[in-house]
Structure 1
Amino acid sequence: MESPPSSPPNSGRSPSGSSMMENLLGLLRVKVIRGINLAIRDVRTSDPYVVIKMGKQKLKTRVIKKDINPEWNEDLTLSVSDPTLAIKLTVYDHDMFSKDDKMGEAEFDIKPFIDALKMNLDSLPSGTLISRVQPCRQNCLSEESKILWTEGRVLQNLCLRLKNVECGEVELQLQWIDLPGCKGL
């Protein structure tokens, strides 16, 4: 009796037999725009950078030296398989000779953004407001977050108030990227 052929060791399939692309809904581009009035962790300033985590993924921005109002304008791209997972953001102060200091953290939910993506918006004019997310105890928003239809894509602007710190906010923008071969929304 002949045994069935086994798949090659690196066939891109998980042990359950499904490929990574089958579970992937698409990519979420998180543009880390800037920090506002971040906490001072060195003598008169800080050397901040941002770490973003979703599930097992962890991405970080570059360090901006001696600036409590840094402008990163940096895109970090997360693979989204489970849109119910919250995204955690932590700001750190880079230290050369000791452990980096935490400068606050925030968490945000992408469900309202995902819901907006599922709508049929192609006929709307650019700049149309799709929905608003109000600041509340369940989120870290410091002001109303607007989800907009702009130039053929859905964008969400967020201003997050950092927790567990004396001061500081971080501005972000979310954008969705559809990938060929993905399950999609």
Structure 2
Amino acid sequence: MSGSVRDGSLNTAALCTVREILGRRHGSFATPGLDLTALPYYDQNADRGPGPDAVCTARGVVSAADALIISTPSYNGAMSGVLKNALDWLSRPWGASALTGKPVAVLTASTGRTGGADAQPELLRVLERAGAFPVAHPKVAITAGEEMISAAGTFLRPSVVAALDGLVDATLTTLSRQPALSQAG
């Protein structure tokens, strides 16, 4: 799930690189993305019954997933608004949300010198509050510019690819330690 919706997004490129890593290792992995722009602003009045179609679709995709990898830029020291909105929808209904018990790995990417790392604590706090299970891994905060992205939309810099490879390893290790979760999706 990319917290950035702009064309040429570093966060989307990071997730494309993760997909490429998974494809090289295990061609059978399905790695759907979510269009966060399709989700309306969270409104508890609209969240009665099944809710809006786009929300039902997003909840279904997340519920069916074995794990999530979320990448976000830092907007004023926090995750993007579009990502927070998606997490608000996905975190309901309380106690039975699509995020409950879901392993989630996080990373950030930004052209700034910290790679958006200041958004990670808030993102992790929201995920934990929503009942998700954060994947333990070294912090991944990518500092790069668009020139570091291939024509295919993936990162070229070996250090970035290695960091994302480590994130994939940590996520797969978490899944292997939770057999019930790895068979759910």
TM-score of the alignment, normalized to the shorter chain, above 0.5:
no
Q: Which has the higher strand share?
A: 1
Greater C-alpha radius of gyration: 1
Q: Which has the higher helix share?
A: 2
